[in-house]
Amino acid sequence: MKAVILAGGYGTRLAEETEVRPKPMVQIGPHPILWHILKHYSHFGVDEFYVALGYLGDEIKRYFLDRQTLAGSMTVDMSQGTVERRDPDCEKWKVHLIETGLESMTGGRVLRLRKYLEGGTFLVTYGDGVADVDIDKLVAFHRRAGLVATVTAVRPPARFGGLVLDGPRVARFSEKPQTGEGWINGGFLVCEPAIFDYLKGDGAVLETDGLERLAEQGKLAAYQHEGFWMCMDTLRDKRQLEGMWKTGKAPWKVWT
């Protein structure tokens, strides 16, 4: 199955980082968040990706070119002008880096990939969110539902911790849980080619022109994910995700 990664937005809410790189290239630990997303999907056997490029798309191209060229050890024989590579440590991914327009909206970017995806069910997610979603269970749920698309519904993490009170005293501080603030679209979509009928041109918005219209017609399923999910919207979010990674407590790291 093929997966689409929406990676073309400006990422203005993370301007401290995105003035010089696209949001999917902002790092968590030693790797960009895009690498974390692809590792997640690959753990479930999804190894072919269509990355929808826009803002600073060349930076994403450069990352994959450099990773492929520089992976592993090498010997450079300058007298002969040769390079011998040894033990390249490369992922088994096939990554299609597709220009989808600088100003295209999310639905427009998916629509521009139509010719690559019309063969069957495909996956779509955003290039700035990580989760421990079980992709196998998600796809199985989608097939049972038999609808045009399935969205992964998640509960956003609480922005602040809480206080547990015992009368006038503070008994303890609570952690920042995935709270009952309501379900939101967490990405990790499963789509049938029929979704393209709802997307008209570069200005189409996947969420309103696609998902909301499908919901109105009873053609959108929701896979309720009670586990970890987090979107890297702000510098604070980036620092939280980096802290999880550095302490070895990254819930989205389902691979070994």
The CB density around residue 47, as the number of other CB atoms within 10 Å, is 16
Q: How confident is the model at residue 99 (pLDDT cuts 50, 70, 90)?
A: very high
Phi and psi for 244 in degrees, rounded to 5?
Answer: -60, -45
Q: To which CATH superfamily is domain 2-246 assigned?
A: Spore Coat Polysaccharide Biosynthesis Protein SpsA; Chain A (3.90.550.10)
Average the pLDDT over 233-237 and give the result.
93
15-31 pLDDT tens trace: 888 989 999 999 999 99
146-178 pLDDT tens trace: 999 999 999 887 766 666 777 777 777 766 655
Choice between 164 and 13, residue whose per-residue pLDDT is larger: 13
